[in-house]
Amino acid sequence: MKSNLHRRQPKDVDNTGFSPNSAAEGSRLINKDGSTNLRKIGLGIFERYSIFHTLLRMSGTKFLSLVFLFYTATNIIFAFVYLAIGIDKLSGVEASSNFLTNFTQAFFFSSQTMTTVGYGHVAPHGFIANAFASIESFLGIITFALVTGMFYARFSRPKAYIKFSDNILIAPHKEGRAVMFRLATYKNNHLTEVHAEVTVAIHHLHDGKRVSKFYPMPLEISRINSLAISWTCVHYITEDSPLWLMRQEDMRDARIEFMVTIKAFDDNYSNTVLQRTSYNYDEMVYGAKFELMYKRSDAGDVTEVMMNKINAYVPHAFVEDVVENA
Amino acid sequence: MKSNLHRRQPKDVDNTGFSPNSAAEGSRLINKDGSTNLRKIGLGIFERYSIFHTLLRMSGTKFLSLVFLFYTATNIIFAFVYLAIGIDKLSGVEASSNFLTNFTQAFFFSSQTMTTVGYGHVAPHGFIANAFASIESFLGIITFALVTGMFYARFSRPKAYIKFSDNILIAPHKEGRAVMFRLATYKNNHLTEVHAEVTVAIHHLHDGKRVSKFYPMPLEISRINSLAISWTCVHYITEDSPLWLMRQEDMRDARIEFMVTIKAFDDNYSNTVLQRTSYNYDEMVYGAKFELMYKRSDAGDVTEVMMNKINAYVPHAFVEDVVENA
Amino acid sequence: MKSNLHRRQPKDVDNTGFSPNSAAEGSRLINKDGSTNLRKIGLGIFERYSIFHTLLRMSGTKFLSLVFLFYTATNIIFAFVYLAIGIDKLSGVEASSNFLTNFTQAFFFSSQTMTTVGYGHVAPHGFIANAFASIESFLGIITFALVTGMFYARFSRPKAYIKFSDNILIAPHKEGRAVMFRLATYKNNHLTEVHAEVTVAIHHLHDGKRVSKFYPMPLEISRINSLAISWTCVHYITEDSPLWLMRQEDMRDARIEFMVTIKAFDDNYSNTVLQRTSYNYDEMVYGAKFELMYKRSDAGDVTEVMMNKINAYVPHAFVEDVVENA
Amino acid sequence: MKSNLHRRQPKDVDNTGFSPNSAAEGSRLINKDGSTNLRKIGLGIFERYSIFHTLLRMSGTKFLSLVFLFYTATNIIFAFVYLAIGIDKLSGVEASSNFLTNFTQAFFFSSQTMTTVGYGHVAPHGFIANAFASIESFLGIITFALVTGMFYARFSRPKAYIKFSDNILIAPHKEGRAVMFRLATYKNNHLTEVHAEVTVAIHHLHDGKRVSKFYPMPLEISRINSLAISWTCVHYITEDSPLWLMRQEDMRDARIEFMVTIKAFDDNYSNTVLQRTSYNYDEMVYGAKFELMYKRSDAGDVTEVMMNKINAYVPHAFVEDVVENA
């Protein structure tokens, strides 16, 4: 290993939002999906969760199921209410001695009221039944007003739709090495003015306790005009880099973690979008290069981006490592 | 107390939006919730209030109650209209000699029309009843269209969800003192690129009249990348600080007020959010330090942010004050 | 009048979007409401107008009337359709020999279908009547979906709600004069980070033809943190100012026009808002000062902004003008 | 041709998002509508397309047709369901031996259920028919909630509404030549703070293979305050320009392509909008000048922008070319 003498110490930063001793043993600071690996305690669940944020971020299937569940549950509750009022107050229903028959008829009347379909072959009779029907139809409209709003919020929520390579590579670059990962948009959206910012977290053992330090990792190109094909972000490991002279085992020992933030302007939404991810040591490949992920189409008229090759790399051993390990 | 000789006079600023003589005796400029302590007069109420802003900012319960009230009131009005037209014009209704019976039947017909449930066991008969029913159903749809829009506007309204510490502390820092307050997000939202800006208002007595001066309070770190755990904003009281050499009683006499603005980017909304607050003298604790508000979870895999400890501090007397007060 | 000898010529700018010869005689470039005084020709009306922009900017009353008109017109059209199909195809309707009776019944059936109230005492019979009813109810839902969207767009449209003083004043300032106008928000919205930009258009006669030149008018304070009370924008007329040494009649001859743009961040909407206006020579008051437009409330606890005094000024003759005119 | 001796080599840039060998023979990088001429492969269709983006960008007619198609298809499916359950379970329907008669009646019942018009002259009978009717009315409401959201998203989608001139001209300018194209907004929208950025792609043949280089093309004015009339973007071909000394045939050989990005703030939407286009060699006119596209109105009170003249130019041969070609 080369001499450490002339090493310029890179400056660590303290504006990451994480603290020097926030790193839990064996875990990451940023999850792969970009969320922070934190838990908030000491708050009631309603205080801690934003219902809106939760509904916004759940999967579409889950959201639709939840709405259907709410619809069914509300109808069940109102069915019981109408039964309590008396099945004879729903004119058009033939009262039965069978509870289930009465219940289902009340349930269907409720659903006709809540959705405002109101066929009318069953209709409320008397003050109390009418009052509850009046409330239920109001509730139905309010519910579906809320759902309409949520739908819009869900599918209009700006998203970057960026796919990152699974691995971060230590690849040969110029006269030395570089840290490289790549990304591409996988949907028919278009990002312009794309900025990338990478911070590396190095968790050194200090008197048996891990102390975290954070360093910015300057990229060779940190802003591109348009994310047209794919973008390989390159941090060249120079003397100024926090990774200068770190060997593979040093990185593992320091439980190194790369925190990545991509910020861009979405042409369709006319909005700024942001996506984050992180790479920890296990996702680092030492001595490898990415394969090209685009080619000219067979017809020759268009460039094809091969999204399935975003993770493809070829090994590329470093001479000095071979010597060193010998 | 140290000599005031070499004091460099910090420059006050006049771009706060407040004027030198805007400070009302004994009151604050910015309320705790971040609104300005102002009243606009000389305008009609409709000119002064934006209905939209008002509906947007009221509590959810209040908003829903208002909508329900509107629904009920509209039905009452239309019930009177249908009665005026003649209860016999609502076919399916058995006209009664009891006014209340007729009224409730007209009311329920109205509600069935407004919500468009339209069972049809009661239906309008004749030109006038039909015309009003036609108008009411139109009105109903328009109302619920408005409510749908308001719902969306309400829950999609970007909010920072920041909780500030109740107190601002004068705490020991480096070789001197610093002003400190802290903040954390209390919901499952995530803020990035968080900026803090603090302005201090000092209201000196001048010929028996209060004159307000405003000074920026530079923070040691005024921008963090991510509001992950919590953030303690620190203004180190150096010679350049407007608070340099001010004692506890000086601050009280000057009715000092710290105006805080936090601006950040919300990852979920992809929007810039802003939250303000202020601390006045009564909320200042002289000689105290914040306790740590995060810890490693028992399982060791995650960092826990203890939101219930955001206000926790320990007293920490200053030696020089003790000497001085002796 | 002072010598013009040492006048430094201010640089005009050509990035205003207006051209040197765009000034039409006797008219302004920017209207009071901030729109440009331009007309686009050579395009079809549908190409030229964005329906959305038009619906967005019309008054609320106009918009509601338009929706009601559309509702009525659609019902009239469908009433004719149902009559054409045959009034007997609407079961529940007693066919009459009176056209108007039949028409109104068809009209009301149409309205019940379009709003989906569907009482059912009148119902379509046969394929053709059913098909049109099916189309109409679909159309109704689509229409009200559009209206819902428009409502939301209308009342969520970010607006600055800024009121400008009617006049721009040439007022005494420091050792000379300044151009001043003022502004305040008149609704319960709150603007932060407020920027003002003023450009002056000077239309000199040049060989009998007006040539327009545009100059930036630097303000003493061009950005305030918060538009709390009111803001008096001040351009101090120094040697560098395009107005240096211009007399009242020079300004009139040059058909001087001040184009004002205010840009700010709205706390409630979390959005950037922009409002423009302009002042031409007729709206300039030469030799006057604004009166204070805020005061402490009688109770002393709050600052009151007197919006009805935004235009209030007191005359203030300039000594040198008096001398000059003598 | 002049000597190339003192040519300063302009620096090419590598942050365009395109790669040196991405140019497919005979095709362009950016399409006229601003989209990138790329294809993403190796992904499933649902992974590749964002349904929301697709619905957002299709034409209004196409979108409405799609919704109507969905409405019809859903009704056909449910008609079959009701037939399978048994036409006798729809009370009010006279069962017919003719399949088509039964089918249309089931279809219309379905449509009355889905739109929630629910006349009630036909109503579901028994558990299964009621259950499906209940599901269908729920589905209908959810569908129209989605459509409402999509409508809003579609017409509130910020768009720049910029029309570019069809051609890019090489025009005489100052003592040399300049590249010029122009643009204007064609709707009643208003853009402020308009930025233009032009990058030129030059695809030189290198050992029989095309290598693409990208150069920024600095404009004389790259930002205007307001896009009031029209804007002619001018790149003056100086020694620093990548086009310096390139003749008409050089540009053709290099398959030159100008990539244009306009970014602006829309006053009505209070949003940033972005529009892109490109000009390739075929759209370049060598030796021509744009005609004026605005005039004073006949009444003299307003400036008229003649949108139909945006492409109008007059030929203007260059002396040196004439000499050269002689």
pLDDT digits (tens, 9 = 90+) for D120-129: 999 999 999 9
pTM (two decimals):
0.83
Establish if D148 belongs to a structural domain. yes
A66 plus A131 within the same structural domain: yes
- Chain A residues 112-151 with a CB less than 8 Å from chain B: 112-113, 116-120, 122-124, 127, 130-131, 133-134, 137-138, 140-142, 145-146, 148-150
Residue A294 lies in a domain: yes
Contacts of B127 in chain C (CB under 8 A): 104
Residue D264 exposed, middle or buried by CB count within 10 Å (0-12, 13-18, 19+): buried
DSSP readout, B166-204? S-EEEEEETTEEEEEEEEEE-SS--EEEEEEEEEEEEEE
The partner residues of B173 in beta bridges, in order of sequence, read: B176
> Which CA distances in Å does C221 have to B14, B16, C11, C198, C231?
8, 11, 21, 12, 10
Give the residue on C whose Cα is nearest the Cα of B58: C268
What's C182's domain CATH number? 2.60.40.1400
User: Which of C116, C140, C156 is where one domain is finished?
Assistant: C156
Q: Residues B228, B140: one domain?
A: no
**DSSP conformation class of D207:** T
- Which residue's entry shows tokens 């209908």? D140
What is the domain extent for residue B83?
51-156
Assess contact for B148 and A149: CB atoms under 8 A. Answer: yes
Beta bridge partners of A202: A213
The pLDDT tens digits of the residues spanning A178-211 come to 999 999 998 878 898 999 999 999 988 877 777 8
Across the interface, which of B116, B120, B148 has its CB nearest the CB of D120? B120
Q: Is C125 helix (H, G, I), strand (E, B) or coil?
A: coil
* Whether the predicted pLDDT of D209 surpasses 80: no
By percentage, how much of chain B surpasses pLDDT 70? 93
Overall average pLDDT of the B3-21 stretch: 67
Q: What is the pLDDT of residue D1?
A: 40
**DSSP one-letter code for D117:** -
For residue B6, is it within any domain? Answer: no
Which of A116, A120, A148 has its CB closest to that of C120? A120
Query: Any CB–CB contact under 8 A between A60 and chain B?
Result: no
Note whether residue C236 is domain-resident.
yes
Contact residues, chain D, for B120 at CB < 8 Å = 119-120
C125 and C235 in a single domain? The answer is no
Q: Are B272 and B158 in contact (CB under 8 A)?
A: yes
**Cβ of D227 under 8 Å from any chain C Cβ?**
yes
* Contact present, D259 and D283 (Cβ < 8 Å): no
Q: Are residues D299 and D197 in the same domain?
A: yes
* Contact residues, D window 6-45, toward A, CB-based 8 Å cutoff: 14-19, 22-27, 29, 34-43
What pLDDT score was predicted for residue C321? 58
Res A115: pLDDT: 95
Single out the residue in D98, D124, D156 at which a domain terminates. D156
- For residue C233, with 0-12 CB atoms within 10 Å meaning exposed, 13-18 middle and 19 or more buried, which class applies? buried
Confirm or reject contact between C96 and chain A (CB < 8 A): no
Residues of C (184-213) whose Cβ lies below 8 Å from D: 197, 199
In the block, tokens 């929007």 appear at B271
Does the pLDDT value for residue D5 go beyond 50? no
> Is there a domain that residue C42 lies in?
no
Best CA proximity match to D294, nearest among D225, D211, D228, D206:
D228
Q: What is the mean pLDDT of residues D214-226?
A: 92
Residue A164 has pLDDT above 90, yes or no: yes
Q: In terms of C-beta density within 10 A (0-12 exposed, 13-18 middle, 19 or more buried), how is residue A121 classed?
A: buried
Please state the three-class secondary structure of C257-305 as a single string. Answer: EEEEEEEEEECCCCEEEEEEEEEEHHHEEECEEECCCEEECCCCCCEEE
* pLDDT band at residue B3 under the 50/70/90 scheme: very low
* In a domain? residue B281: yes
- In the prediction, which pLDDT does D3 show? 43
Beta strand pairing call for C209-216 and C191-206: antiparallel
Please name the residue that has the structure tokens 């640089």: C11
Residues in chain A with CB shorter than 8 Å from the CB of D24 are 296-297, 300-303
Residue B26, pLDDT score: 56
Final residue of a domain: which of A106, A129, A156? A156
Higher-confidence position of D216 and B53: D216
Q: How far is A235 from chain B (nearest CA, A)?
A: 19
% of chain A beyond a pLDDT of 70: 93
Question: Which range is least confidently modeled, A173-177, A210-214, B109-113, C71-75?
Answer: A210-214
Rounded Cα distance, D313 and C19, in Å: 18
Per the model's pLDDT, the better-predicted residue between D115 and D45 turns out to be: D115
Residues of A in contact with B297 (CB under 8 A): 24, 39
A/B interface, count of CB pairs below 8 Å: 193
On whether both D144 and D242 belong to a single domain, the answer is no
Answer yes or no: is A301 within a domain. yes
Higher pLDDT pick, C45 / D137 = D137
Test A120 with D116 for CB contact under 8 angstroms: no
Helix H or strand E segment including D171: strand D168-173
Q: Are residues B182 and B97 in the same domain?
A: no
Q: Are residues C176 and C288 in the same domain?
A: yes
For D2, the token pair is: 């002049």
Q: Are residues A140 and A100 in the same domain?
A: yes
Q: Quick check: A324 pLDDT over 90?
A: no
Which residue from B77, B126, B128, B129 is spatially nearest to B103, judged by alpha carbons?
B77
Contacts of D199 in chain A (CB under 8 A): 225
Could you tell me if A92 and A236 lie in one domain? no
Instruction: Quote the tokens at residue A18.
Output: 């994480």
Chain B interface, best mutation among C137, C226, C234, C301, by max B CB count within 10 A: C226
Q: Does ipTM come in above 0.90? A: no
Same domain membership, residue A205 and residue A149: no
Q: Length of chain D in residues, anyone? A: 326
pLDDT tens across B276-307, in order?
999 999 999 999 999 999 888 887 777 888 99
Claim to verify: residue B148 and residue B180 sit in the same structural domain: no
Tokens found for residue D39: 């294809």
pLDDT 10s digits, A219-247: 999 999 888 889 999 999 999 999 998 88
* Same domain as C280, residue C251: yes
Structurally, chain C folds into a number of domains equal to 2
DSSP label at D89? G
Could you tell me the two tokens for B68? 């329900």
CATH number of the domain where residue B124 is located: 1.10.287.70
**Domain contains D3:** no
Please write down the HEC assignment for all residues of chain A.
CCCCCCCCCCCCECCCCCCCCCCCCCCCCECCCCCECEEEECCCHHHHCCHHHHHHHCCHHHHHHHHHHHHHHHHHHHHHHHHHHCHHHEECCCCCCCHHHHHHHHHHHHHHHHCCCCCCCCEECCHHHHHHHHHHHHHHHHHHHHHHHHHHHHHHCCCCCEEECCCEEEEEECCEEEEEEEEEECCCCCEEEEEEEEEEEEEEEECCEEEEEEEECCCCCCEEEECCCCEEEEEECCCCCCCCCCCHHHHHHCCCEEEEEEEEEECCCCEEEEEEEEEEHHHEEECEEECCCEEECCCCCCEEEEHHHCCCEEECCCHHHHHHHC
